[in-house]
Amino acid sequence: MLTDLPAWNALTHHCQTMRTVRMRDLFARSDGDARVATLSVEAAGLHLDYSKNRITPETMALLMQLAEEAGVLAARDAMLAGEQVNTTEHRAALHVALRAAPGEQYCANGEPVGPAVAAVLARMRDFSDAVRNGTWRGHDGQAITDVINIGIGGSDLGPRMACRALSHLASPRLRMHFVSNVDGVELTEILARVQPATTLVIVCSKTFTTLETMTNAHSTRDWFLAHGVPEAGLARHFVAVSTNTDAVRAFGIDPANMFEFWDWVGGRYSLWSAVGLSIVLSIGYEHFSELLAGAHAMDRHFATAAPLQNMPMILGMLGVWYRNFFDSASTCMAPYSASLELFPFHLQQLEMESNGKSVRKDGTPVSYRTSPIVWGTAGTNGQHAYFELLHQGMQLIPVDFIVPLKAPHTLPGHHAKVLANCFAQGEALMHGRTLDDITAQGVEPELAPHLACRGNQPSNTLLLPALTPHAVGALVALYEHRTFVQGAIWNINSFDQWGVELGKVLAKPILEELNGGASHPHDASTAALIRRARG
């Protein structure tokens, strides 16, 4: 039991001491430069300063002791060895193999996966080159100008985020569009902006049965036919990313235009696979290779670095520190870059779908907190929205500040202001502003309480050298591994999502009723809502 481990008990007692410690005093009492040097780490070109946390070297030693006692390193090695760490679905979770260096050997269920991965990557390269240089053309010979990726969850969020983050590298010839919501608004608005003869559609679904994806795919297919594209010409406008050849063929897509991936690729870890075809089309295969290389560099760091120098281990264990010992209910992701504005949304799925669990791997209930709520937006917008809560609210909410030192597109003086605001927010959250600070400035006593900020709010600052594909790849892989570390501590399966499946199952009979079919048993509230919707 996790809570019976010696390190857990030691951390419980240590936390009582640290609750009354103020970070501003930790910096003031010791050599601040030495604290920063001790509590900073480099990995895969990224720099992490985690000195603005409610920690001492003793805290970090105890956290890493907990990781050792809980078997985190053994769990990591099992994942990298291709063992069936997804225990409920009896699958490996081998997304690291998708970005492996040539010659590295990864096996799933004892079978090498490298040759199959290389073959799909080669097909992605050839196909993307053909679309980008105009060799691949629509049914009437016109070059493709627009690409629509139809997916949901991991088949949408990861590629959408990466394309946005690296949009400064996008082909000037191709416009990328993403459709996920089944409400029809998103798809209708996109179809109004594109022309059938010059549009390519990627239907991205592992099973090719996902309700939202297939509804949008069929509506798009109908749109092509209604706009004069002959059925035989659809093959020049549709490709599939899937594992289900029969369903792809039944939809009308030539299996020759299907890009395969495998059951050991989880949806939220899939942007590195054929699911990333939209990324390759947008930024080109060379840049996509750099994205993979950045993720691979972080993989090697995670696999080899000592725990106290291991960036994913550090971030993961800091998350455990606040979630389980300070009972922090949420964590804020604040990327100070408009290009990274979708990164918090990607992390929401990555972390909450992975670790939002209430049973251990053996099926017994957990007796401790698991995933916090993950939220956030791009800075500096967030400063004018929810930062008031961070500074003067009553909750303890750790913040991850993420900022590139160089911006891909900027105007004179703009990026310096971004950096200044990012660094200032971390300083303000840590230092705060006491009543003594305020009254010393001559502020009227009755106003002083309104100006006070309690401070002592923890944050990490993660610096990217620039928004290069390598840096973005390393960033995403870092948070993948951080999520894994926390799941390993909590002894939960970070690779299934059975809660999501329940809602899908219940939606089917309700849809049947809304369409005039037979009634099914429901609770009184759901039954009343169905009656009202039917009129």
Catalytic residue positions? 353, 384, 504
| Amino acid letter, residue 521 | P
CA–CA separation, 488 and 146 (whole Å): 42
- Full DSSP string of 340-368: GTTHHHHHIIIIIIHH--SB-TTSPBPSS
Sign of the CA dihedral with 297 first, then 298, 299, and 303 last: positive
Peptide bond into 370 cis (omega under 30): no
How many beta carbons lie within 10 A of that of residue 303, not counting itself?
16
The b-or-e profile of 450-465 (16+ CB within 10 A means b, else e) is: eebbebbbbbbbbbbe
Q: Tell me if 81 sits within 8 A of 62, measured CB to CB.
A: no
Angle, CA of 35, 388 and 447, to the nearest 5°: 100
Q: Tell me if 400 sits within 8 A of 358, measured CB to CB.
A: no
Query: Rg (Cα) of the chain, in Å, rounded?
Result: 25
Q: Three-class SS string for 456-482?
A: CCCEEEEEECCCCHHHHHHHHHHHHHH
